[in-house]
Structure 1
Amino acid sequence: MTVHGIDVASYQSGDYSTSGLDFVFVKATEGSSYANPKHAAQVATARAHGLVVGHYHFARPGSMSAQADYFLAHAGAKAGDVLAFDWEDTGVPGADKDAWLRHVQAKAPEHRVVLYCNRDFWLHRDSTSFCADGLWIADPSAPEGHPRVEHPWLFHQYSSAGGLDRNVGNFAGPGTLRTWAGRGAAPHYEPFPGAGWFTVGRRSPIVAAMHERLVAVGCNHYTSTANKDVIGSGDVASYEAWQRKYNTDHHKGWTGSALKWPPGRETWDALHVPNV
């Protein structure tokens, strides 16, 4: 397993480190009256770094349909996002857990829906083994990727050290996770056109899409948005900033020409330029 992630709530920063991460679950709502004030910023950080996004609802006793509708209204989920039910309150029975999951599956059939709970809830409070599209199990006493449950699982929350919940996904790699989250649909990103394609003065909608992604990942070295579909000095400076950022975040140890223009396949694929 090579897929790692974290889950965050309002007590984490909106601009957290995404180094080494493939996915992030962000708390969206709790009960039927609380919405995480940092949800939008925390989701934006994940999207800017090309991570798979999950939104979760912390359940409280009460109407499950009302809580599900409140969650869906505030999550603002996009295609490929995962939706999760956080079952920790002892006042929420297993039947209500099932009701929420089924309600969200019916209302948002385009999304994967998963159950989050700890090992005690799964083994001693659950009676149906229903977890919609998969189980996200919290078992910090178990080694990473080896939760102490017999049921198949998708995500394992294995540590809360330092106040940050860390998770591992039971997927072969980031691409497998993204395909699963998108219900089998392959992500539509521009394939690497080859280093020789990146010549100053080239005009293409791909260049404009690259411009937007470089700005989104925090590597904006542009002085103007005019003619953003034409490769210019701003593209060169911004892409080199992205290569330096990628190098640092992924501990590549690149130096010299490896950090210079033109783009290479690895950093291009990681930039996730949308297909145009």
Structure 2
Amino acid sequence: MARTKKGRAVSGWLVVDKPAGITSTAVVNKVKWAFQAQKAGHAGTLDPAATGVLAVALGEATKTVPYITDALKCYRFMVRLGAATTTDDAEGTVIATSDNRPATDAIAAALAAFRGDIMQVPPQFSAVKVDGERAYDLAREGEAMDLAARPLWVDSLVLIARPDADHVELEMVCGKGGYVRSIARDLGQALGCLGHVLWLRREWSGPFTAAGGVSLDDIDRLARSEDIDALLKPLELGLADLPELVATPEGAARLKNGNPGMVLASGIEWGDQAWASYQGRAVAVGIYKSGELHPSRVFN
């Protein structure tokens, strides 16, 4: 006998302006409870001390999470010069210091090495797995790890302000899997002055912005009320980086059953990934081939 799903079959995106001091998982759990949703997930973890965009997907929108995870993201952050910490941010213990303070021009010039395709070593306190265990769990036990460098695309990295000799504010736009803490650590090492992240804010992620985010206070105020659904953005926003194709009525019916369906194509090539809509609603994501979309994900 099939188990009945608990909660409402509500779908869409809730863009949360996450405050400092709460984990991304705790935010997702709060949102799921507030909407009484059957299913929820997020597109890209923020550290507890970080603030800004945390895009939470509900219901069918969870099927679009990979497309937001893969999208470019923008971070504004402050680097504290002159000290390295165990966590590469202000939450950790200082393990080394330096009296060297590079000139602002030298800092701006050093940023060039961190743009484009780079290799980045994750922080010791990170969620990467080492022999099946999370690095942060091993780090808390005092184990030092030789973590492998990972590729990262950095679209831009610019100096925003130098409020004083000890601090520099930066803005970075990067792809999937970037660690801002690693940028601060490696920049400090490259400049010979050491460094760590003092504060961090994700300004936007794909189509979602912090300016359009909802506070936890608003979520608490509207929790489990009829008005809370007004906070949701359509699941189709999670597909903003993919071309949209309009399905024919027959094509939409076939796609909903997981079969290739006819679409009206324009400006798309054979083999491209796209999503199909019918009457303004997302039907499926898949690969375009000869007038049809071959679905990999279907929306109910």
TM-score by length of 1: 0.25
Compare the two structures and name the one with the higher strand fraction: 2
Say which structure, 1 or 2, has more relative contact order (CA 8 Å, 6+ apart): 2
Which structure: greater helix fraction?
A: 1
Structure 1 or 2, whichever has the larger Rg, is 2
Q: What's the TM-score, normalizing by structure 2?
A: 0.24
